[in-house]
Amino acid sequence: MLKEKVKSTKFVRCISKNGKIELLRIIGADFKDKIKVIHMGVKIPTNVGGLLFKDKEYFKIVTPANILAVKGHKYLIEACSILVEESIKNFECIFYGEGLARKELEELIKRKFLNKYIKIPGLIPHEKLIKMYRNNEVDIVILPSINTESGEHEGIPVSLMEAMAYSIPVISTNTGGIPELLSEDTGVMVEEKKSEKLAMAIIKLIEDKNFREKIGRQGYNRVCEEFNIQKNTRKLLELFEYKYI
């Protein structure tokens, strides 16, 4: 019925180019002009990032995501193990979330002797997380997402947009709609399920202040331009107001 639904509408809003491609694959190109891409958006704060790029001796890494297979937490655990093996120990990695994979991850953290470095405190209120961003309490946000065997994958994660809005450098994978957000050095993208490459990306951000600043500022600019909730709401309202023939 999807093609019939599209046929009967004035327009269809997709939240990513990848989503539009998937939709056209299902319904064909007959109504491609009806399909509009308007991204999700986040609130853009002002006066951020001033303290973020100072020299750091210790790094707080955060993964704000449900603890599910598609989020790829276990690859970040393995990457943290590589960091410790390489004598990089000036970090703490926090998984804020809950989900079915929590027990499995806790066992993996224990087996790799990473309890000192990785914490799973559970869910965090959204307002508290944003306050941490605003107060420069988070240095890197990582979402090591994967494509699952069942075909599940990310869209364009709002969790990354929110961190980028506060000039926090982010690392994620080339899955789903993520490349649409992180292309052109607005974030660090690595291949999915590659813990070694993920570890190297973390090391680069920890050791290279200039690179950290570049990624943070360009990420902020990308969100301001393409994922600003005020701008994108206006685009959506214009579609509703447009006098279709």
One domain for residues 12 and 106: no
One domain for residues 177 and 218: yes
Q: Which of 147, 136, 235, 131 is nearest to 194 (CA)?
A: 147
One domain for residues 10 and 67: no
Buried b (16+ CB within 10 A) or exposed e, 71-84: bbbbbbbbbbbbbb
In a domain, 241, yes or no: no
**What's the confidence (pLDDT) of residue 54?**
63
In a domain, 234, yes or no: no
DSSP string for 49-104: -TTTTS--SSEEEEEES-SSGGG-HHHHHHHHHHHHHTT---EEEEEE---TTHHH
- Count the neighbouring beta carbons within 10 Å of the beta carbon of residue 171: 26
Strand arrangement, sheet containing 188-190 = 118-122, 91-96, 59-64, 140-143, 170-173, 188-190
**What's the confidence (pLDDT) of residue 46?**
80
One domain for residues 125 and 184: yes
How far is Cα 223 from Cα 183, in angstroms, rounded to an integer?
12
Task: Give the CATH number for residue 81.
Answer: 3.40.50.2000
How far is Cα 202 from Cα 193, in angstroms, rounded to an integer?
15
One domain for residues 109 and 19: no
One domain for residues 65 and 124: yes
One domain for residues 6 and 76: no
pLDDT digits (tens, 9 = 90+) for 176-210: 899 999 988 999 999 999 999 999 999 999 999 99
One domain for residues 14 and 102: no
In a domain, 243, yes or no: no
In a domain, 44, yes or no: no
**What's the confidence (pLDDT) of residue 89?**
95
pTM beyond 0.75, yes or no = yes
In a domain, 233, yes or no: no
Consecutive sets of 10 residues in the chain, 245 residues long: mean pLDDT of each? 93 92 94 94 79 74 96 97 97 97 96 97 97 95 94 92 96 94 94 98 96 95 96 94 68
pLDDT digits (tens, 9 = 90+) for 214-241: 999 999 999 999 999 999 999 999 999 8
Looking at the 3D structure of the chain, how many domains does it have?
A: 2
Q: For the purposes of burial, counting CB atoms within 10 Å of the CB of 34, is it exposed (0-12), middle (13-18) or buried (19 or more)? A: middle
One domain for residues 133 and 28: no
Indicate the residue type of 114.
L
One domain for residues 105 and 135: yes
One domain for residues 31 and 112: no
Domain region containing 25: 1-38
How far is Cα 167 from Cα 214, in angstroms, rounded to an integer?
9
In a domain, 86, yes or no: yes
How far is Cα 71 from Cα 90, in angstroms, rounded to an integer?
24
In a domain, 231, yes or no: no
**What's the confidence (pLDDT) of residue 128?**
97
In a domain, 53, yes or no: no
One domain for residues 64 and 178: yes
